[in-house]
């Protein structure tokens, strides 16, 4: 008897609590829910009284972007100077900027941000304002100019390329590197010279029956190896079930890091810049 009444009371209380809970959720939950990978930052609603889109974008920028891109969008901790970015400067209608913000740049550690179209437009307006402001500045700019990177000696760089650097084992000034300095300049050239990020590795997988499958490495963690085969078909295996060998010539760049002096790097830059 007691138990039954108690259960009724309990259920009534539970229903009430649940209703209260839903009500509280409805009132308290942030206005924007973002779906996705879990890497995007929540986007608080733009303030109701912002005078201009750029001001609204500025607030969003301060909350979410300044750690990497700096308060003035001119670069900060790990993030590039947006006022110099080719993508920003060449984006006529803001769609390219919006795409990068929405999708992030995972390989460069920029997370995606699930902002609304209006919020993206306000961010584009703010960034454009910053570009204009930066163009009006004399000195006081952070960032790396092409002129900053001209402290090396091209002849010494060529010797390093052919000698201690080991570069000529894989690269040729008249082959793959012909015209490299036309394709890339300044910081971009130096970053690629030191470690080109977009290079794909090859992998050969040996199945238990002895058959081998070769392709471009598409995924690798401790437990799974995946590749795109000759037909561009994605295939994967548990690493516990197969043997595999990754061929990553680009890792020679990483192996060189402990061996460089800073002079070697500046000299190499001077040499590569002659390859136009």
Which string of DSSP letters, residue by residue, matches 175-228?
A: TTTTTHHHH--HHHHHHHHH--TTPPPEEEEE-TTS-EEEEEEEEE-SSEEEEE
Query: Running DSSP on this structure, what letter comes out for residue 172?
Result: -
Of 101, 60, 63, 54, residue with least CA distance to 82: 101
| Among the residue ranges 24-32, 119-127, 159-167, 206-214, the one whose residues contact other proteins (CB under 8 A) | 24-32
Examine residue 91 and tell whether it contacts other proteins (CB under 8 A): no
User: What's the burial of 201, exposed, middle or buried (CB within 10 Å: 0-12/13-18/19+)?
Assistant: middle
| Among the residue ranges 36-44, 92-100, 202-210, 226-234, the one whose residues contact other proteins (CB under 8 A) | 36-44
Question: Tokens representing 260?
Answer: 């460089």
Residue (68 or 275) nearer to other proteins, CB:
68
Determine contact, residues 243/210, Cβ cutoff 8 Å.
Answer: no
Of 128, 106, 112, 6, residue with least CA distance to 57: 128
Residue (91 or 190) nearer to other proteins, CB:
190
| Among the residue ranges 85-93, 125-133, 145-153, 207-215, the one whose residues contact other proteins (CB under 8 A) | 145-153
Q: How many residues of this chain interact with other proteins, rule: CB under 8 A?
A: 61
Residue (169 or 197) nearer to other proteins, CB:
197
Angle at the Cα of 163 (from 161 to 169), degrees rounded to 5? 70
Question: Tokens representing 217?
Answer: 């490495």
Determine contact, residues 112/36, Cβ cutoff 8 Å.
Answer: yes
Please report how close the Cβ of residue 39 comes to other proteins at its closest, in angstroms: 7
Please report how close the Cβ of residue 160 comes to other proteins at its closest, in angstroms: 14
In this chain, which of 10, 13, 95, 148 binds other proteins, going by CB under 8 A? 148
- Spacing of C-alpha 233 from chain mean position: 26
Binding-site string for other proteins from residue 176 to residue 215, where x marks contact by CB under 8 A and - marks none: -----------x--xx--xx--------------------
In this chain, which of 52, 151, 212, 274 binds other proteins, going by CB under 8 A? 151
In this chain, which of 33, 49, 92, 169 binds other proteins, going by CB under 8 A? 33
Residues lying near other proteins in the complex (CB under 8 A): 21, 24-25, 28-30, 33-42, 44-45, 47, 59, 62-64, 66-67, 70-71, 75-78, 81, 109, 114, 139-144, 148-151, 187, 190-191, 194-195, 220-223, 253-254, 257-258, 260, 262, 265-266
């Amino acid at each position: 008897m007691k138990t039954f009444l108690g259960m009724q009371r309990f259920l009534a209380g539970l229903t009430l609590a649940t209703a209260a809970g839903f009500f509280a959720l409805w009132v308290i939950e942030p206005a924007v829910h973002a779906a996705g990978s879990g890497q995007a930052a929540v986007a608080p609603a733009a303030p109701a009284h912002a005078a201009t889109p750029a001001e609204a974008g500025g607030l969003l920028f301060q909350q979410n972007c300044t750690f990497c891109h700096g308060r003035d969008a001119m670069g900060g901790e790990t993030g590039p100077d947006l006022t110099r970015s080719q993508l920003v400067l060449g984006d006529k209608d803001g769609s390219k900027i919006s795409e990068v913000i929405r999708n992030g740049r995972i390989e460069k550690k920029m997370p995606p941000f699930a902002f609304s179209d209006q919020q993206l437009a306000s961010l584009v307006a703010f960034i454009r304002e910053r570009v204009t402001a930066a163009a009006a500045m004399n000195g006081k700019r952070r960032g790396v100019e092409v002129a900053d990177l001209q402290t090396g000696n091209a002849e010494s760089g060529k010797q390093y390329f052919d000698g201690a650097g080991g570069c000529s084992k894989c690269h040729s000034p008249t082959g793959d590197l012909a015209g490299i300095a036309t394709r890339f300049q300044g910081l971009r050239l130096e970053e690629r010279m030191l470690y080109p990020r977009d290079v794909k590795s090859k992998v050969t997988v040996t199945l238990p029956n002895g058959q081998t499958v070769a392709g471009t490495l598409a995924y690798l963690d401790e437990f799974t190896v995946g590749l795109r085969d000759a037909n561009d078909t994605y295939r994967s295996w548990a690493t516990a079930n197969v043997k595999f060998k990754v061929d990553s010539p680009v890792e020679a760049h990483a192996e060189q890091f402990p061996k460089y002096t800073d002079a070697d790097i500046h000299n190499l830059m001077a040499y590569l810049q002659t390859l136009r």
